[in-house]
Amino acid sequence: MMAIEDRTKQILTEWKINRYRTFVQISAFIIIAIYMLNFFPWSVFTGNFPQKLFSSDQAIWGQFGDYVGGVLNPIMAFAAFYLLTISIHIQQTELSKTTKALEASEKSQIKSALAQADQAKLMWRTTQLTGINTIMQSVITNIELAREEIRYLQEQLKSNDGKIYTLQDEKVNRLEARERIKAIKKIIDNHIERKTTLEMDISFLRSINDSEIEEVTRR
């Protein structure tokens, strides 16, 4: 969300700068145009009445002022209206571009945020699967070790020398060996139940993971 706000502020700042630049350019053009137009009625007047360049009669100067105002006012009014229209059009264009840029930036940021969230979710699922697989391997190893010990004890029970040792090199009698085999079988049953539960968990997580990957791919 901070990235979206920063991008929005940047776009708005650029829009304000462009707007200010446009205003300065239009203002400069208007000033130059007014300055140039001031010479137009003067040149026309002096061209037609060269003998009356500098009259001492106030009435003549009043008539000249009316003449200048009558010539410049329509031109300046039209120029001001035209420049105002151009300014409004430029501002509308810039505002439209800014709005589109903001919308595109917002969509991009939202899409990026969703992608990051999906990636984090997938990584979490993967971590879960890795942890469960590790536990599964440990359970399988324990089952194999327990079965190996049962086979080891059973082979010794079949012999007639009476010496029976566990895999831990512990000496036991025949009765203790049989009891140990029973206890190990119970342990194996518990491990098998645990293994079945873990397999179901792995299958469930993989199905969820596959569906999430498919959903992310569709986006």
Tally of structural domains, the chain? 2
Instruction: State the DSSP string of 123-168.
Output: HHHHHHHHHHHHHHHHHHHHHHHHHHHHHHHHHHHHSSS--EE-TT
Question: Are 188 and 146 a contacting pair, CB within 8 Å?
Answer: yes
Beta bridge partners of 165: 171
Instruction: Give CA–CA dist 153/166, Å, rounded.
Output: 7
Residues near 202 by Cβ (< 8 Å), separated by ≥ 6?
129, 132, 133, 136
Task: Tell me whether residue 92 is in a domain.
Answer: yes
Indicate which CATH number applies to the domain containing 161.
1.10.287
What's the mean pLDDT in 24-51?
60
The confidence score (pLDDT) of residue 2 equals 47
Greatest CA separation for the chain: 152
Query: Does 101 lie in the same domain as 9?
Result: yes
Mean pLDDT highest for which of 68-72, 116-120, 176-180?
Answer: 176-180
Q: Which of 62, 81, 111 represents a domain boundary (last residue)? A: 111
| Torsion-angle region of 169 (φ positive above 0: left; ψ -120 to 50: alpha; else: beta) | left
Assess whether 193 and 130 both reside in one domain: yes
- pLDDT confidence of residue 187: 92
- Res 37 pLDDT > 80: no
| Per-residue model confidence (pLDDT) at position 17 | 63
Rank 3-12, 129-138, 198-207 by mean pLDDT and report only the highest.
129-138
Q: Answer yes or no: do 104 and 178 share one domain.
A: no
Residue 114 above 50 pLDDT? yes
| More confident: 27 or 170 | 170
Among candidate residues 120, 137, 125, 131, the one with its CA nearest the CA of residue 195? 137
pLDDT at 175 over 80: yes
How does the average pLDDT of the chain come out, rounded? 75
Q: Are residues 179 and 201 in the same domain?
A: yes
Tell me: do 75 and 170 sit in the same domain.
Answer: no
Q: What distance in Å separates the CA atoms of residue 196 and residue 192, rounded to the nearest whole number?
A: 6
Give pLDDT, residue 208.
77
Is there a contact between 33 and 79 (Cβ–Cβ < 8 Å)?
A: yes
Evaluate if residue 128 carries a pLDDT over 60.
yes
In the predicted model, is pLDDT for residue 186 greater than 90? yes
Q: Is 42 within a domain?
A: yes
Please state, in angstroms and rounded to a whole number, the distance separating the CA atoms of residues 214 and 210. 6
Does 91 map to a domain? yes
Which of 64, 91, 111 is at the close of a domain? 111
- Residue 136 and residue 211 share a domain: yes
Give whichever of 10-19, 30-39, 49-58, 147-156 has the largest mean pLDDT: 147-156
Same domain, 6 and 107: yes
Residue 35 is part of which domain span? 2-111
pLDDT at res. 1: 45
Higher pLDDT, 84 or 153: 153
Query: In this structure, which amino acid lies at residue 129?
Result: L
User: What is the arithmetic mean of pLDDT over 66-79?
Assistant: 70
Percent of the chain's residues with pLDDT above 90 = 11
Q: Are residues 59 and 129 in the same domain?
A: no
Q: Position of tokens 């040792």? A: 165
Residues 135 and 103 in one domain: no
163 and 211 part of one domain: yes
Residue 117 lies in a domain: no
